Amino acid sequence: MSNSIHLKRGLDIPISGVASLKASPVAADVIAIKPTDFKGLLPRLLVKEGDRVLAGSPVLADKNCPDILVCSPVSGTVQTIVRGEKRKLLAVVVKADEQREYVDFGVKNVESLNADQIREAILASGLWPSLIQRPYGILANPSLKPKAIFMSAFSTAPLAADTDFVLGSEMPAIQAGLTALGKLTEGGVHVCIDGNKAASTPFHKLEGVTLYEVTGKHPAGNVGIQISHISPIRKGETVWTISPLMAAAIGKLFLTGKVQLDRKVAVTGPVAVNPAYVEALPGIPMKALSAFYDNSKADVRFVSGDALCGTSVGEDGYLGWFDNQVTLLHEGTEREILGWAKPFRFNQFSSSRAYFSWLCPKKKYEMDTNFHGGPRAFVVSDVYGKVLPMDIFPVYLAKACLAGDIDKMEKFGIYEVLPEDLALCEFVDPSKNEIQDMIQKGIDLMIKEMA
């Protein structure tokens, strides 16, 4: 028996370039492990250039909690240690073997393990960073027992990978992973599925979890939005979240004794050539996807993740650890004279119906990165509330974060949100404010001052 949640507010962004449901393997000679993918990780390097690693070998450790490790997804040789300003560790680049070798952690029956044994197994394998702790969206603290664990089994982000297609064959591993995680909390595991196809999705067959059918426009698929409607996070409370992708990796750990992070990655976007899925690993270079784009004019933006809250990594960048989507966008550097005075713009999307393109509700647009204007005064309006299905005041929260006022941040809901939850607010903002950046700076201040 499922619970039903219907969200009335939100916005689906009609961007072109959805990936066709076919997958092919992609070859990548190197894989990068980036500490910046793990929020809250203070990395300590465990390898040096020339070292030999296996899939599952620890590469990084957290200085604050040495038990938390990050593993290599491939076997091979450490080729390069990439550092930035002040020797900040940016990436560990591994030259991959043609034939992958694994660390053997041993097959385990999750039904017979207790919470401590499960925690130790996940920590030893380097998969603990798969668990994200809220508030703040940082690495889960192994010494805490969360109120509950949440997983969203679908995504409504622009051009998001089809979860059923990507993970439909991984249900035994996902079931094993969630069964194991359920022993780490007394509040149980809560899974949200797409209510529009609840009967057809394989996730509705999961056992030992509480299922919710969620319907609505984006951000209905965001786990933070779902938590706010199931069990809002209050001050002093902690919950953990996990993606289906990483739940499958944890399940495979117990079923096979190996760390297997293979995934289907959706290559999407308006400038993608024949967008489709590739079978790859986290950390593959963007150049490995050269068959999907023409960058002869150097006008392609490479986004690891979706167009709203993904990370721009450039052609020399790498796929993020948690991502199974790449979005290719045109760099919108063109300027349009008096564009605001042209209502007959059928090739421009407007969430406020400023253009007559709203007469074509099913049209997909070749959107680019153009802001179509510069920053303006931050005015109070209800434009955010129309797309954010949460019981908070987004304008006041953003202003509190901008001012660094901790009391007001707490009052207006900083414990319930991550930047991704307010990505749509940034998209529709007529003042062109970087709302996600404001929220992240507020979270960083909370971590610093409230630790």
C-beta atoms surrounding 24 within 10 Å: 10
- State whether 81 and 116 are in the same domain: no
Final residue belonging to a domain, choices 221, 256, 291: 256
Q: Is position 168 within any domain? A: yes
Judge if 77 and 43 occupy the same domain: yes
Domain membership of residue 82 (yes or no) is: yes
What is the Rg, in whole angstroms, of the alpha carbon atoms belonging to the chain? Answer: 22
Q: Is residue 117 assigned to a domain?
A: yes
- Count of domains forming the chain: 4
Residue 168 sits in the same domain as residue 245: yes
Is 54 a domain residue?
yes
Q: 256, 277, 301 — which closes off a domain?
A: 256
Q: CA-to-CA distance for 38 and 378, rounded, in angstroms?
A: 31
The tens digit of pLDDT for each residue in 3-42 reads 899 999 999 999 999 999 999 999 899 999 999 999 999 9
Contact 177, 248 (CB under 8 A): yes
Give the Cβ contact number of residue 32 at 10 Å.
24
Which domain CATH number covers 216? 3.40.50
Its domain, for residue 150, covers 106-256
Tell me if 162 is assigned to some domain: yes
Q: For the segment 45-94, what is each residue's pLDDT rounded down to a tens digit?
A: 999 999 999 999 999 999 999 999 999 999 999 999 999 999 999 999 99
Indicate whether 213 and 282 sit together in one domain: no
Cα–Cα distance measured from residue 94 to residue 14, given in angstroms and rounded to the nearest whole number: 38
Q: Looking at 256, 290, 322, which one is the last position of a domain?
A: 256
My answer on whether 246 and 305 are in the same domain is no
For residues 304 and 379, give the distance between their C-alpha atoms in angstroms, rounded to a whole number: 32
User: Looking at the structure, do residues 216 and 182 belong to the same domain, yes or no?
Assistant: yes
φ, ψ of residue 393 to 5 degrees: the values are -110, 95
DSSP SS3 for 417: coil
* Residue at 225: amino acid letter: I
**What CATH number does the domain containing 48 carry?**
2.40.50
23-25, strands of its sheet edge to edge: 23-25, 276-280, 263-268, 325-330, 300-304, 311-312
278: which residues sit within 8 A by CB, 6+ positions away? 23, 24, 25, 26, 264, 265, 267, 289
Query: Which tens digit of pLDDT belongs to each residue from 241-262?
Result: 999 999 999 999 999 999 999 9
Question: Using one digit for the tens of pLDDT, what is the confidence trace for 294-349?
Answer: 876 678 999 999 999 999 999 999 999 999 999 999 998 777 766 666 666 777 88
pLDDT in tens, 177-194: 999 999 999 999 999 999
Task: Pull the structure tokens for residue 111.
Answer: 């039904």
Position 370 in a domain: no
Q: Are 83 and 126 part of one and the same domain?
A: no
